[in-house]
Structure 1
Amino acid sequence: MSKEMMSRRNALKLGALGVTGAMLSATSAMAAAPTEKEVKFDEEYDVIVIGTGFAGLAAAAKAAERGLKVLILEKMGRVGGNSVINGGAFAVPNNKDQAAFGIQDSSELFIKDALKAGLGINHVEMLEVIGKRAQETLDFTIKCGATYQLGKKPTWFGGHSVNRTIVTSNMSGSAIIQPMAAFVEKLPGCKLMTRTKFDDFVMSADGTSVVGVTARTNYRFDNKLLSDDVENKSGEKKVYKAKKGVILASGGFSMDKVYRQLQDPRIVPDQDATNHDGATAGALLKAFQIGAMPVHIDWIQQGPWASPDEKGFGVAPLLTQQGLFVKGVCVDVRNGKRFMNEMADRKTRADAQYVILHQDPKAFPVAIGTYNTFDEQIYAAVEKGLASGVMKKFDTLDALAANYKIPADALKATIKKYNEDAKNGVEDEFKKQSLKDVVGKEAIEMKGPFYAIRTVPKPHHTMGGLKINTKAQVISGNTNKPIPGLYAAGEVTGGTHGASRLGSCAIADCLVFGMVAGESI
């Protein structure tokens, strides 16, 4: 077993938490959360928010706007978590730009698409809230200073029936996070602290309500293996009181090498992910320990648009999902043939890629297209991808095929058939919906030049987490009722997206329910 593989000690410590659907509140191996009788509070606030991503900042902004005194805790040295490095794509059903371009959409169609991707196990009441409030939420972020490429035709993401995704001005979540963080810090009574790690909840004297948190200031994150970070003792201990409650917005656990493998043993410790290093399960496990109900914990989404030629999220997802996948093709390098609908939902595509990679771990599928396949919004990313080498440019298909060792004649036949179907308006064998936009033209311009990226799925979004209701209250597994004083929003929650989240719906989910939490608490 490699040095990165979890030890028997760690497996035993966390094993009780690796069983999907188990009631995790009664794990005797863990110490109970302290009560208010056992601590002395250093500071007092109305609301404490854990995390500074989309959900945390939206919650803090809404709570502070109501005149509440808010403390926001972030364990890392910078704000934003995964949100600040995400692709900046925000699914907004029935948005104003859709109306301007004559695109027919509705909350009902959005929910239908989400259910198809989520294999029907989504909690529909959560999707209804997103569908109803997404445009309002977009407007709120603009009020906070977020910038988008508005006035343009919305982008089409895989699994959606129509173009409904608004993209930020810089194609990054930072165009939302940085202005919102500045907005929040200027609000009266709002305090944001980085390098301050949430350690545990503080419960009421009778143990039924959340009344505060314990934390460590001057904390230095350096442990990239253990979900509960037990071996990192850095920082000074503090206890903060929350008179109205705590909002958990700590994100997912795709970088938690122990906990993610307990849920899905196929995700080995050295597998790269799209997340930042701090995307671990510690805060989630603490919520389970005080009785929070788990939902869909072992559904971990893989991003099928990532590349093995760069670490983490990188630039490939922009170039594939908003470029090569839309009008181009993705082929099996062993035979030059397509093997999936490049615009299907993420799970469908990742599963198709894994069929190939399980047969030959080095046979990374290659996405191929021409310059016309790229959305104009990502032209700058094209140059970045070429400069980094994650994307390559070829004058001919023969040169491309030779570089990736793809049978040239088979590749040419694949693209010829693909172009003929697109040009004639014939539904292709994989029922790719985005080709209806290129009827009468070549989808891939045979004059070239041709662009290509090697692809691989990477753990991207953990679908499961805490069960919340439509008021963002965390539900107890013991009583099936809200845990007083505990709210949650964003990727730390589960149920909304079912088995697999539609692309560009994370921003919508996090921001909408962050707002709801800030309004409800």
Structure 2
Amino acid sequence: MSDETKDMSRRGFLGAGGAALLGGVVLGALPLEGKSLGEPTTAQLPKTWDETHDVVVVGTGFAGLSAAIEARLAGASVLVIEKMPVHGGNSIINGGDFAAPANSFQKAAGIQDSPDQMLKDMLKAGSNLNHLKLAKTVAEHANESLEWARTYVGAEFTRLNYHGGHSVKRSVQTVNQSGSELVNKLLAKAQELGVKVVTRTKLTRLLLGAGGRIVGVEVRQGHKWPDEASGTLAAIKARRAVVLASGGFSRDVALRQIHDPRLTPNFESTNHPGATGEALLAACRAGAMDVQMDWIQLGPWTSPDEPGFGHTPQVCERIVGYGLMVDPKTGKRFFKETGNRKERADAIIAIGHPVVIVGDSAAIGGQVVPKVLGKAMEVGAVRRFNTLDEVARAYDMPAGTFLEEVTRWNGFVEKKKDPDFDCKIFPDALPTAKAPFYAMRLWPRVHHTMGGLVIDDRAQVTGFDMKPMPGLYAAGEVTGGVHGAVRLGSVAMADCVVFGRIAGRNAGREKAWS
């Protein structure tokens, strides 16, 4: 084991344990004489309920809507609440890539893959901090859930893509290169089944009944984000269960800095503005255990030349393994282009300034959807050049060194082997030599919070007494443990749909408490 790997393992171990402890301290959820600090009691339950449903789902992304559909199919009446004025959360601005091993697109392309191989990739990226049962559940049920999304929900997927850290191409992309394709189809299916979906309804706390069972939620109806005090308080009974699918906390700078002080406001986020973690905190106040909160992922493929998630990731990720990434100050490569997200983000941050990735017309034309490229060029994040000398001048690179580096890279591409950084070079990759050339600057942004609520393989939340919390389930980015230290690109979609379905199914089958 290298010194770097040993250091990573040591920091990972300390980070994971520290996160669980720190999360408890900060969120007021450590046990105290058999109770959690700040835990609601039955005395705080309303005398009358404003609404009653079998299952209440919090969040309208992949996980929440998948849960709502499965809970309804299990025979439950279902309410889905969303604090924002529009549905979808991060899922609707997601890039639309769904990792699924042994999928039909791979088979058509002659790519050998298996759930075991995907699990190995997840564990490697996650530094083996993944909760094994959870990671295995995602790997084993990803393709089944992809097919459910295609055949039952009606979402269209059209092409196979690669993401850094995977051993093979296994990510299937939606027809519009956006998570909106699946989110909107999920919403339509849920409403077709009779699920009630309401926006501008913010969860304020979980309500506990006898025996610590979650029996409902307190919300602010008519909430006008970001006014925290807006809306009217209401109590909604959940006769069977509550499912939390509210996403992560990448936009809550104070909370993320508690767990990783480096993530100051200087680091922007790819997330939608409502990704602020209130539901996660509410669950911890009710006694739920959190885990690995200090593992926060930065996306290495975002551009400082456009805001938010932007269009650059859809171009950058398509050409890793087909083009080279360089430090513009030296004109040289500095890390493997196909490394996982944390590896690449850390390497770019270590450089200390934006880096540049370059692809020629063969790489771009063969891998990037023209519509996506057009949008990225329209906003100025991706630029086109007639010669490599023009690329060097545009980014103030030492031209001679840069051209030598391109020649060296092209030699690696021809041999399909990178002895410098062990980049994965694909069989159909060609030397970067065919004009025009395309280049974009890269600088990381906060993208995904791997930590969150502890769940079991039934998606039931675990309390600080180490037992499942009756009446409470969770799925998606609000949970922790699935991905360990690093989430592989496109596994979020699989995680959300797999565990969203599991959570909804089990919540819908719970015995009603009244």
Q: TM-score higher than 0.5 here?
A: yes
Name the CA distance, whole Å, in 1 between partners of 2:223 and 2:252.
18
Q: CA contact under 8 A between 1:18 and 1:263: conserved in structure 2?
A: no
Q: CA deviation at 1:192?
A: 0.4
Name the CA distance, whole Å, in 2 between partners of 1:146 and 1:80.
17
Q: Which amino acid aligns with 1:321?
A: E
User: Which residue of the partner structure matches residue 335 of structure 1?
Assistant: 330
Name the CA distance, whole Å, in 2 between partners of 1:199 and 1:17.
23
Name the CA distance, whole Å, in 2 between partners of 1:468 and 1:73.
21
Q: Which amino acid aligns with 1:456?
A: W
Choose 348-357 or 123-132, whichever is displaced more.
Answer: 123-132
Residue correspondences, number: 484
Q: Which amino acid aligns with 1:314?
A: G
Q: Which amino acid aligns with 1:513?
A: F
Q: Which 5+ residue runs of structure 1 have no aligned equivalent? A: 1-15, 224-231, 358-362
- Out of 29, 40, 50, which is 1:33 matched to? 40
Residue 350 (1) aligns with residue 336 (2):
no
Name the CA distance, whole Å, in 2 between partners of 1:418 and 1:382.
24
Residue 506 (1) aligns with residue 488 (2):
no
The CA RMSD measured in Å over matched residues stands at 2.0
Relative distance call for 1:461 and 1:68 in structure 2 (3 A) is same
Q: CA deviation at 1:48?
A: 0.3
Identity over aligned pairs, percent: 42
User: Which residue of the partner structure matches residue 48 of structure 1?
Assistant: 56
Name the CA distance, whole Å, in 2 between partners of 1:186 and 1:34.
37
Name the CA distance, whole Å, in 2 between partners of 1:144 and 1:179.
10
Summarize the alignment of residues 327-406 of structure 1 with structure 2, pairs less than 5 Å apart.
Answer: 327-357=322-352, 363-374=353-364, 375-376=366-367, 378-406=369-397
Choose 124-133 or 370-379, whichever is displaced more.
Answer: 370-379
Q: CA deviation at 1:520?
A: 1.1
Q: CA contact under 8 A between 1:157 and 1:165: conserved in structure 2?
A: yes
Summarize the alignment of residues 273-288 of structure 1 with structure 2, pairs less than 5 Å apart.
Answer: 273-288=269-284
Name the CA distance, whole Å, in 1 between partners of 2:37 and 2:81.
23
Name the CA distance, whole Å, in 2 between partners of 1:46 and 1:36.
22
Summarize the alignment of residues 210-359 of structure 1 with structure 2, pairs less than 5 Å apart.
Answer: 210-222=214-226, 232-323=228-319, 325-357=320-352
User: Which residue of the partner structure matches residue 423 of structure 1?
Assistant: 414
Name the CA distance, whole Å, in 2 between partners of 1:18 and 1:400.
49
Relative distance call for 1:418 and 1:270 in structure 2 (3 A) is closer
User: Which residue of the partner structure matches residue 205 of structure 2?
Assistant: 200
Q: CA deviation at 1:36?
A: 6.7
Q: CA contact under 8 A between 1:37 and 1:205: conserved in structure 2?
A: no
Relative distance call for 1:371 and 1:34 in structure 2 (3 A) is farther
Q: Which 5+ residue runs of structure 2 have no aligned equivalent? A: 1-18, 508-514
Question: 1:434 aligns to what SS in structure 2?
Answer: coil
Q: CA contact under 8 A between 1:47 and 1:245: conserved in structure 2?
A: yes
Deviations along 1:104-128, whole A, 9 cap, x unmatched? Answer: 1011110111111111111111121
Q: CA contact under 8 A between 1:418 and 1:428: conserved in structure 2?
A: no
Q: CA deviation at 1:37?
A: 5.8
User: Which residue of the partner structure matches residue 180 of structure 2?
Assistant: 174
Q: CA contact under 8 A between 2:52 and 2:237: conserved in structure 1?
A: yes
Relative distance call for 1:67 and 1:392 in structure 2 (3 A) is same
Question: 1:326 aligns to what SS in structure 2?
Answer: coil
Name the CA distance, whole Å, in 2 between partners of 1:466 and 1:198.
16
TM-score by length of 2: 0.91
Q: CA deviation at 1:416?
A: 0.3
Name the CA distance, whole Å, in 2 between partners of 1:237 and 1:21.
27
Residue 161 (1) aligns with residue 164 (2):
no
Name the CA distance, whole Å, in 2 between partners of 1:18 and 1:394.
52
Name the CA distance, whole Å, in 1 between partners of 2:82 and 2:217.
13
Relative distance call for 1:356 and 1:427 in structure 2 (3 A) is closer
Residue 516 (1) aligns with residue 502 (2):
yes
Question: 1:273 aligns to what SS in structure 2?
Answer: coil
Q: CA deviation at 1:376?
A: 4.2
Question: 2:321 aligns to what SS in structure 1?
Answer: helix
Question: 2:272 aligns to what SS in structure 1?
Answer: coil
Residue 490 (1) aligns with residue 476 (2):
yes
User: Which residue of the partner structure matches residue 136 of structure 1?
Assistant: 144
Deviations along 1:276-303, whole A, 9 cap, x unmatched? Answer: 0000021111111111111110100000
Relative distance call for 1:37 and 1:30 in structure 2 (3 A) is closer
Residue 126 (1) aligns with residue 116 (2):
no
Q: CA contact under 8 A between 2:204 and 2:279: conserved in structure 1?
A: yes
Summarize the alignment of residues 20-99 of structure 1 with structure 2, pairs less than 5 Å apart.
Answer: 20=23, 24-26=28-30, 31-35=38-42, 38-39=45-46, 40-99=48-107
User: Which residue of the partner structure matches residue 3 of structure 1?
Assistant: none
TM-score by length of 1: 0.89
Q: Which amino acid aligns with 1:386?
A: M
Deviations along 1:297-325, whole A, 9 cap, x unmatched? Answer: 010000000011111101011010113x2
